Structure 1
Amino acid sequence: MKNRYFAAGLLAGALLLGCSQQATTTENQASQNATAADVKDLGTLLDQYWEENAKLFPLNATTNGDNRYNDQLPNDQTAAFREQQRQYYQKYLDQLGQFDREKLSDNDRISYDIFKYDLQMSLEGLKLNTWMIPFQQFWGLPLSMAQYGAGESIQPFKTAQDYDNWLGRVRGFSVWADTAISNFRRGMQAGVVLPRPLVLKIIPQLEAQVKADPTQSDFYGPIRNLGKTGIAAADQQRITAAYRAAIQNELVPTYRKLGQFMKNEYLPKARTSTGIVSVPGGAGIYRYFVRYWTTTNKPEDEIYKTGLAEVKRIRGEMERVRQQVGYKGDLNAFFNYMRSDKRFTPYKTDAQVLDAFRGIQARITPNLPKLFGRTPKTPFEIRQTEEFREKSASAEYQPGTPDGSRPGIFYVPILDAKTFRTTSGMESLFLHEAIPGHHYQTSLQQENTDLPKFRRFAWYGAMGEGWALYTESLGKELGLYTDPYQYMGALGDEIHRAIRLVVDVGMHTKGMTREQAIKYMMDNEAIDLDGATAEIERYMAIPGQALSYKIGQLKIQELRRKYEQQLGAKFKIQDFHDELLKDGVMPLAVLEQKMDAWAAKQQ
């Protein structure tokens, strides 16, 4: 997915975590006193947590359709904010400890296990020194601000109040940026810095927001739509003037300041090494993120070996397809043929690419009831990725809101329609990012009002991305992969996730360089140099995140095989999928425990 849409906000609690001040005895006592209220009902405790969470992380609240704090943008770069988070998580962990898990209902036990896991991981993450890297080229507030503020995404722009709310966030961004620069400088002193190739990607992203004419800014997008809102003429004039001033006097100077800092001051200090292990505390940082993203305690070397084995297995299936289509060269030559032959780039316009994805949706729709009993009510759209971020973006899904006011959106970056390859796995990509992958999983989760809100709007990469990768294997059952080249594209997508296990662990623990990782990827799938470079640099920026897909997929496949054997004729694939999704994403160990209980009831 996680964009992030979603991801930018969610990663505020993970990737951009920082070390907090050491708690004093007085603070610990205050935390203990906070439990004195003795909340007797777990649901009430979880509701209180979510209310406080929305105030603490208002961008997340907006993403989740809670518009009460749309004018707020707290400075999450300060030590004081990190300490506020620590006290928040510890308070609720202490209160959770008052409940006897064994006396809870089945659903509350799941909530208890997930909540305890979340709080413990958040507290552990706050001990890391990654606050010295406030953003990178893939996720971070400078990108999120442009996405929220362009007027076509998460932030609502329907009323005069909506427009005024965004100006509050603009003011907060200027303050945030100054603190982010300060934290970057702390990182430069401590040796906790980004690799040089990533900084070279960040600089043009920042410079792209420096426009002399405010009407040419991405942030002017809401004003272009102002006439369609029905807002009073006087307010329209006031809002237009305010937005011009905000772009000229706050946004452009802030992005210019960030860009000049990254180019003139930070770039010379950027590291030449590839893996996070080379920064102080890097080995511990990587171990944390492996656990965070996989929701397992799998050793890194075991994950690496799993990747090697999966690459070997999938290559064998690719060889079978190569022989099926009668290609005479070896597999690497076949890869080159698929990424270079003009027959695989048939499109002339962006609209043709988007229509091809809509055609995939039309083909699978009649077959979905064969595999699913429940379907989402949330609307769904296919859109082209915005120009300001498409050069560094992957195809991604942005969730809708439970009330249907914002659809789920499958974003497709199209730099040049004439070079968009059909062999890139268009069918498997749609299954993963759209239907029945992220759109089904996220929408069904958010629409389930029986879940506490911290679960309705949760995200765990291992289950969420694992589910989406698993759905790619459903292509033939849904009427796809009839073209061997599309099936080859699907195998390419799967081996891509297996390769990630090798290169992510390899770069961050085994000394594999950026260049070696790019070569390994190109040797094992039909990806061009630019695509492989963007992928490898993503894994450099977000250690461990790329592991979640394959680890989660393998667990879901393992569970399906187990229940097919246990239940025999009683196993119904629709019921398995519905049960898997109905309670939302969760750590893999909690998922297996829940699914084992379901299987026992089927018998």
Structure 2
Amino acid sequence: MKKLLVPFISLSLIFVTCKNDSTSSATQLPPIDQVFESYYQGSLKLNPLQATSAGDNRYNDQLPIDISEAYIKESSQFLKIYRDSLDLYSDEDLTEEQKLSKAILIWEIEQELKGDEFKTHLMPINQMFSLPLAIGQLGSGSGAQPFETVEDYNNWLKRLEKFTIWCDTALVNMKKGVAEGYVLPKVLIGKVIPQLESLANKDTERNIFFLPIHQIPDSITVEEGQELREKYTQIISEKIVPSLESIVNFLKTDYMEAGRTTSGVSAIPQGEEMYNYLIKYFTTTDMTADEIHQLGLSEVKRISSEMEKIKEEVGFEGDLKSFFDHVRNKAELMPFNDPQQVIENFNSIHEKMKANLEKLFDLTPKTAFEVRRTEAFREASASAQYNPGSLDGTRAGIFYVPIPNVEKYNVFSDEDLFLHEAIPGHHYQISLQQENENLPSFRKTLWYSAYGEGWALYTESLGKELGLYNDPYQYFGMLSAEMHRAIRLVVDTGLHAKGWTREQAIQYSLDNEAEGEASIISEIERYMAIPGQALSYKIGQLKIRELRSRAEESLGDKFDIREFHNKVLESGSLPLNLLEEKIDSWITSKK
């Protein structure tokens, strides 16, 4: 969750001087656009993984110890400088776009500062999103970290050196977490252990961090390649494996013994307050856990009635729960015996919808796109996901698909999944945001889950307009995906605000959706690991759907779906209240 945002010292000094000088005027301040750029450049310097992901290679050898108290203190200090500095700029002196950028940045900083009040650094590792998993993906050579030159290879070695320090810090933090009551549930600890064991493979030639050595490009000489081979062998065997093994041994013994039997975050110190904060952080709204829980229950009821219609259409006799089992186990929906067939199926879905995309979108990204299988070391616990391309568009956006057992891979929701994770979901939204030259740099990589995931879930409803969902099972897949996100509202708040157990949440999901049991278990454990994030999808989708309906009703014949989509996408990721203000202003201008 932590995103370090640090300005350049020169601007910091200007702001401090202006803050202490009551006679200062707006003319003495640096232009606010310069502030935005400084903010972004500083964030890259002290958040180098973000820079690498964006295709900025200046800091490819850097890895901050972002779970150290010194780092967190430094982050908060500079965030406060930025928050205070923005107060010096009057909205009257700004353009509409500058006012929007200022509002976004203030919201961002305030949320990050609030997050610093909680001791999340004492629980630095989980099975879904934590640095070891990101490092494994980067170090495999298939991610954003480049491995094209000797310098690239040496940069990664320096990053790995710092990763061992991060591991040592994580171990210290977890021991402190045990003493203070900040520990993972036992069941999640059990999921982390095999992930780290895989990363700590003692067979160096098969270790994931050795993969780039197997792929050394021809531009690197034999002598240089041999030297790199020796360096990688040494750091893997002498530093990486021992550091990870230390964590694994601790997880298996003292940490597992101290692990929680409870499922929700409310069981840790400040847990209730933390969950309320996470609701706001992930939904960008002021909704309460109770409001979200009730909304989830009503959405589950509504979508269930739509599912009943599909059940009748295909002629299934039996109740809806029996139909879920029918869909989960229908042999015709599990037709593959080779993982490549899954990839090819997604590519064929893309081809099928291409002709209709221009009817809904007249603005499309330049960044390339591809579908890949999720890496083996994280596949068992991973969900399908989208990884953005580089800011300059030279690295493609990638849709990762986990295929742990291809013979059990069910295709009933593949059309829906492609719309969400790929096109026109995350790939369109993120790529267009990154390519938009009218946005200040910090907004090109900004991410609000309610907006980004809300948009992706909204695009799932565009399937019929795009020539998909002709098969009732695929349309049922769309309803199932929407049901899945509605269930999240119920089970996430159930787990973290209402005392639900893991088993209660699993059973509620099994009773109300067609996902397989193994997938449902993985999902519930995901919500346990990252409280609140699962709420963002449905909250964002419902807001975008509400705004579309409002525009259609208000504008009548003047409504253009392509223009509406442009307005939703053109400003990049926004908190939902700012998105609503933007669309309302557009509607007024059109009328």
Q: Distance in 1 between matches of 2:402 and 2:189?
A: 21
CA deviation digits over 1:505-526, x for unaligned, max 9?
A: 0110111110000000010001
**Which has the larger displacement, 129-138 or 289-298?**
129-138
Q: CA deviation at 1:34?
A: 8.0
Matched, 1:498 2:500: no
How high is the sequence identity, in percent, across the aligned residues? 47
Per the alignment, in what secondary structure is the counterpart of residue 375 of structure 2?
A: coil
Q: Distance in 2 between matches of 1:542 and 1:353?
A: 28
Per the alignment, in what secondary structure is the counterpart of residue 68 of structure 1?
A: helix
Q: In the alignment, which residue of structure 2 is the partner of 1:457? A: 445
Q: Which amino acid aligns with 1:387?
A: A
Per the alignment, in what secondary structure is the counterpart of residue 411 of structure 1?
A: strand
Q: Which amino acid aligns with 2:420?
A: H
CA deviation digits over 1:100-137, x for unaligned, max 9?
A: 01331111111011000001111111111212111211
Q: Distance in 1 between matches of 2:397 and 2:519?
A: 26
CA deviation digits over 1:569-591, x for unaligned, max 9?
A: 01000000011101101100011
Q: Distance in 1 between matches of 2:272 and 2:459?
A: 33
Per the alignment, in what secondary structure is the counterpart of residue 241 of structure 1?
A: helix
Q: Distance in 1 between matches of 2:18 and 2:493?
A: 41
Q: Distance in 2 between matches of 1:445 and 1:452?
A: 11
State whether residues 3 and 47 of structure 2, in contact with CA within 8 Å, keep that contact through their aligned partners in structure 1: no
Q: CA deviation at 1:306?
A: 0.5
Q: Distance in 1 between matches of 2:559 and 2:13?
A: 52
Q: In the alignment, which residue of structure 2 is the partner of 1:5? A: none
Match of 1:239 among 218, 228, 232: 228
Match of 2:88 among 71, 81, 98: 98
Q: In the alignment, which residue of structure 2 is the partner of 1:269? A: 258
Q: In the alignment, which residue of structure 2 is the partner of 1:292? A: 281
Matched, 1:356 2:356: no
Matched, 1:513 2:501: yes
Decide whether aligned partners of structure 1 residues 30 and 542 sit closer, same or farther in structure 2, where only a CA change above 3 A counts. Answer: farther
Matched, 1:323 2:300: no
Q: Which amino acid aligns with 2:478?
A: A
Matched, 1:421 2:410: yes
CA deviation digits over 1:460-491, x for unaligned, max 9?
A: 00000000000000000000000000111110
Q: In the alignment, which residue of structure 2 is the partner of 1:84? A: 74
Decide whether aligned partners of structure 1 residues 30 and 281 sit closer, same or farther in structure 2, where only a CA change above 3 A counts. Answer: farther
1:57-68, aligned counterparts within 5 Å?
57-68=47-58
Q: CA deviation at 1:595?
A: 1.3
Q: CA deviation at 1:261?
A: 1.2
Q: CA deviation at 1:420?
A: 0.3
Q: CA deviation at 1:237?
A: 1.6
Q: In the alignment, which residue of structure 2 is the partner of 1:598? A: 586
Q: CA deviation at 1:152?
A: 0.8
Match of 1:116 among 106, 112, 130: 106
Q: Distance in 2 between matches of 1:406 and 1:29?
A: 37
Q: Distance in 2 between matches of 1:530 and 1:91?
A: 47
Per the alignment, in what secondary structure is the counterpart of residue 13 of structure 1?
A: coil
State whether residues 18 and 29 of structure 2, in contact with CA within 8 Å, keep that contact through their aligned partners in structure 1: no
CA deviation digits over 1:426-474, x for unaligned, max 9?
A: 0000000000000000000000121111100000000000000000000
Q: Distance in 1 between matches of 2:388 and 2:214?
A: 24
Q: CA deviation at 1:212?
A: 2.4
Matched, 1:131 2:121: yes
State whether residues 14 and 29 of structure 2, in contact with CA within 8 Å, keep that contact through their aligned partners in structure 1: no
Q: CA deviation at 1:12?
A: 3.2
Per the alignment, in what secondary structure is the counterpart of residue 458 of structure 1?
A: coil
Cα RMSD after superposing both structures: 1.6
1:306-321, aligned counterparts within 5 Å?
306-321=295-310
Matched, 1:439 2:420: no
Q: In the alignment, which residue of structure 2 is the partner of 1:175? A: 165
Q: Which amino acid aligns with 2:166?
A: W
Matched, 1:39 2:47: no
Matched, 1:165 2:155: yes
State whether residues 158 and 229 of structure 1, in contact with CA within 8 Å, keep that contact through their aligned partners in structure 2: no
Q: CA deviation at 1:32?
A: 3.9
State whether residues 159 and 229 of structure 1, in contact with CA within 8 Å, keep that contact through their aligned partners in structure 2: no
Q: In the alignment, which residue of structure 2 is the partner of 1:584? A: 572
Structure 2: which 5+ residue stretches go unaligned? 6-11
State whether residues 371 and 398 of structure 2, in contact with CA within 8 Å, keep that contact through their aligned partners in structure 1: yes
Q: In the alignment, which residue of structure 2 is the partner of 1:338? A: 327
Q: Distance in 2 between matches of 1:77 and 1:94?
A: 25
Q: In the alignment, which residue of structure 1 is the partner of 2:523? A: 535
Q: Which amino acid aligns with 2:585?
A: A
State whether residues 31 and 87 of structure 1, in contact with CA within 8 Å, keep that contact through their aligned partners in structure 2: no
Q: In the alignment, which residue of structure 1 is the partner of 2:174? A: 184
Q: Which amino acid aligns with 2:116?
A: L
Q: In the alignment, which residue of structure 2 is the partner of 1:4? A: none
Q: In the alignment, which residue of structure 2 is the partner of 1:470? A: 458
Matched, 1:220 2:220: no
Q: In the alignment, which residue of structure 1 is the partner of 2:545? A: 557
Q: In the alignment, which residue of structure 2 is the partner of 1:8? A: none
Q: CA deviation at 1:601?
A: 1.9
Per the alignment, in what secondary structure is the counterpart of residue 59 of structure 2?
A: coil
Structure 1: which 5+ residue stretches go unaligned? 1-10, 18-27
Q: Which amino acid aligns with 1:285?
A: M
CA deviation digits over 1:126-159, x for unaligned, max 9?
A: 1112121112110111111110100011101111
Q: Distance in 1 between matches of 2:19 and 2:440?
A: 20
Q: In the alignment, which residue of structure 1 is the partner of 2:8? A: none
Q: In the alignment, which residue of structure 2 is the partner of 1:155? A: 145
Q: Distance in 2 between matches of 1:257 and 1:422?
A: 41
**Which has the larger displacement, 208-217 or 448-457?**
208-217
Q: Which amino acid aligns with 2:289?
A: E
CA deviation digits over 1:523-572, x for unaligned, max 9?
A: 00012221111000000000000000000000000000001111110100
Q: Distance in 1 between matches of 2:43 and 2:19?
A: 17
Q: In the alignment, which residue of structure 2 is the partner of 1:303? A: 292
State whether residues 68 and 169 of structure 2, in contact with CA within 8 Å, keep that contact through their aligned partners in structure 1: yes
Q: CA deviation at 1:254?
A: 1.4
